[in-house]
Structure formats: structure tokens, C-alpha cells
């Protein structure tokens, strides 16, 4: 897929990075950036001088690809405003971290009006907003597509091609499988990092080394956005927290019993799993 016109709606860290990366990947494509907030237009215009940047919905008309950069809770209202400017050939996708609510809210609105597929780029930062966007954010990043049984093959193919053009490595998962696995690999780590920061407190901070720095980095991320993500996936997040607590009890028991063998085995099994992760 070589889109001739790309529109990015509500560009934050992810949408903004798509805009920057798409400018490099598709230098001849027309780029439209739509933002609800007038005050955010100037820096976007400065970073993307060739793009059409504004608050006008009609600029979106005729797009080959529309990327929804807003969080899940804002998507259905965004899509309702978008509907009059869609063609049936337009590929619409998003970047939200929890897919079941998006599929439930957004897919029915777009049914028969555009080609819809959910996307979740496993890329980000503790920083947020367009100011944190980077053209190389998706290089080697995993992009999860969540087609359903009714998603046509060309829609999957075109969405995958687009993300690959931005440097991503594309994986397809069913919506429920996505939400289950991502709760373990992203939402649980965030919940634990925040809880760890609170438990460690301020007193120990002057001693922090790279271990604390890395284990807690994500906890500096935007609280409201993460609260929405954790709540949106709360069934899976609660299930993974329960599994985590079971593991923690095992570790605490080994510590309390001064059981070096069990504790070493516990840590060794973790180290073996972690060492299977290739370097980025």
C-alpha cells in the first residue's frame, strides 16, 4: 500500500511519531494533521512544515489512511465526527493499548463506511504528547494488529504494509488474546512500577542506581492515560496481578524460611526467561 493521502487525528506521542515517520516513508504523500486543540497546532506545523495542520474536518476527506491517535475513551466521538469525511476505500486504524473496548465502540460505527482494523504499536516512552514524538519510534518495534473474523485480508495486508514501512515488526492477534498478553507485558509492569515507586518512597531516591532507574522508568508516564488503560483492561490486569501476588508469596515464603535453594531456583527461572529476550 502506497497511501497518497494520510490523515493523523489527535497526534500525541504515537500519532505524532506516525506523522514524522510517514513523512520519511512516504515523502510524496499528502499529510493532514487534525487536532482538536488550537494551541497544539503551531509546534506540529513547525515540525511538519509540508503537512496540512488544522482543526478542519473537511481536510481529512479522500484519505487513503486515517490514523486515530486519541486514547480509547475519545475514539467513538472522534469517529462520529470523522464519518462524513470517509470513503469506503479509506483504511482507518488506531493506536490504543486495549483493544476490546475499541472493537466494541469503533468497529460498528465504521461498518460499511471505511476499512477498519485495530493497531497497537508496542512503542512509547514515559513522555507524552506531540513534543515527545520521534520519527524512529517504530523502528524494530512490535506492532500488533487485531483483525477479527470479519476483517478482509486486504485490510490486514495494507495495515501491515503501512506499519512495516514505518520500520515496525507486525504481529496479528485476536482482540482477546491481545488484551490478555499485553496485560502481562505492559499493563502489569506499569502497575508494579508505580507501586514500587510509592513503596520505595522519596528517602531512598538519592541512592538510586540503574536498577531502580530502569525498573521504574515507565512510572513517570501520564497518570490519566495509564488509569484509562488499566481500567479498560481491568479484568486481565486483575488476573495478572493475582498471578503476580501468588509468585510474590512464594518468594516471601522462601525469604522468611531462609530457603536459599528455593529462592535461587525462583530467581534462576526468572533469569532464564528474561535471557531469552533478544537485545533490541
Stretch 142-171 residues interacting with a second copy (CB under 8 A): 142, 144, 171
Identify each DSSP E strand in the chain by its residue range: 5-9, 30-34, 52-54, 65-68, 91-94, 115-116, 118-121, 142-146, 169-172
From the list 23, 63, 146, 186, which residue makes contact with a second copy (rule: CB under 8 A)?
186
Residues 118-147 that bind a second copy (CB under 8 A): 122-126, 141-142, 144
Interacting span for a second copy (CB under 8 A) from 84-92, 106-114, 150-158, 262-270: 262-270
C-beta of 11 vs 221, nearer to a second copy? 221
Residue 145 C-alpha cell reads as 494488529
> Which residue number, 125 or 165, has a Cβ lying nearer to a second copy?
125
Please report, as residue ranges, which positions from 203 to 242 form the binding site for a second copy (by CB under 8 A). Answer: 203-224, 226-228, 230-231, 234, 237-238, 240-241
Asked whether the beta carbons of 110 and 116 are under 8 A apart, the reply is: yes
Nearest CA to 187 among 249, 248, 231? 231
**265 CB-near residues (< 8 Å, 6+ apart):** none
Q: Given the rule CB under 8 A, which of 1-9, 78-86, 100-108, 260-268 is the region that contacts a second copy?
A: 260-268
Strand bridging mode 91-94 / 65-68: parallel
Report the residue number, 57 or 244, with the smaller CB distance to a second copy.
244
In degrees and rounded to multiples of 5, residue 31 shows phi and psi of -120, 125
Edge-first strand listing for the sheet containing 169-172: 118-121, 142-146, 169-172
Shortest distance (Å) from residue 228 CB to a second copy: 8
Q: Does 16 bind a second copy (CB under 8 A)?
A: no
Q: Is 263 in the site for a second copy (CB under 8 A)?
A: yes
Q: How far is the CB of 169 from a second copy (least distance, A)?
A: 9
Amino acid at each position: 500500500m502506497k497511501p497518497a493521502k494520510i490523515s493523523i487525528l489527535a497526534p500525541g506521542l504515537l500519532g505524532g511519531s506516525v506523522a514524522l515517520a510517514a513523512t520519511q516513508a512516504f515523502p510524496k504523500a499528502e499529510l493532514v494533521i487534525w487536532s482538536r486543540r488550537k494551541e497544539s497546532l503551531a509546534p506540529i506545523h513547525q515540525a511538519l512544515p509540508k503537512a496540512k495542520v488544522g482543526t478542519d474536518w473537511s481536510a481529512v476527506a479522500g484519505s487513503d489512511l486515517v490514523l486515530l491517535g486519541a486514547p480509547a475513551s475519545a475514539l467513538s466521538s472522534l469517529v462520529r465526527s470523522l464519518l462524513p469525511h470517509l470513503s469506503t476505500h479509506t483504511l482507518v486504524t488506531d493506536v490504543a493499548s486495549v483493544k476490546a473496548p475499541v472493537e466494541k465502540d469503533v468497529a460498528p460505527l465504521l461498518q460499511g463506511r471505511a476499512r477498519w482494523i485495530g493497531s497497537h504499536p508496542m512503542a512509547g516512552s514515559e513522555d507524552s504528547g506531540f513534543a515527545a514524538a520521534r520519527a524512529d519510534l517504530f523502528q524494530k518495534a512490535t506492532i500488533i494488529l487485531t483483525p477479527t473474523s470479519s476483517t478482509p485480508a486486504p485490510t490486514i495486508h495494507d495495515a501491515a504494509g503501512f506499519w512495516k514501512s514505518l520500520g515496525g515488526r507486525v504481529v496479528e492477534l485476536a482482540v482477546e488474546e491481545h488484551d490478555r498478553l499485553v496485560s502481562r507485558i505492559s499493563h502489569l509492569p506499569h502497575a508494579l512500577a508505580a507501586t514500587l515507586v510509592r513503596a520505595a518512597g522519596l528517602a531512598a531516591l538519592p541512592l538510586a542506581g540503574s536498577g531502580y532507574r530502569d525498573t521504574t522508568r515507565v512510572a513517570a508516564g501520564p497518570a490519566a492515560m495509564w488509569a484509562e488503560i488499566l481500567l479498560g483492561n481491568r479484568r486481565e490486569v486483575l488476573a495478572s496481578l493475582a498471578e503476580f501476588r501468588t509468585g510474590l508469596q512464594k518468594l516471601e515464603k522462601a525469604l522468611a524460611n531462609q530457603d536459599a535453594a528455593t529462592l535461587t531456583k525462583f530467581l534462576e527461572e526468572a533469569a532464564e526467561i528474561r535471557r531469552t529476550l533478544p537485545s533490541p
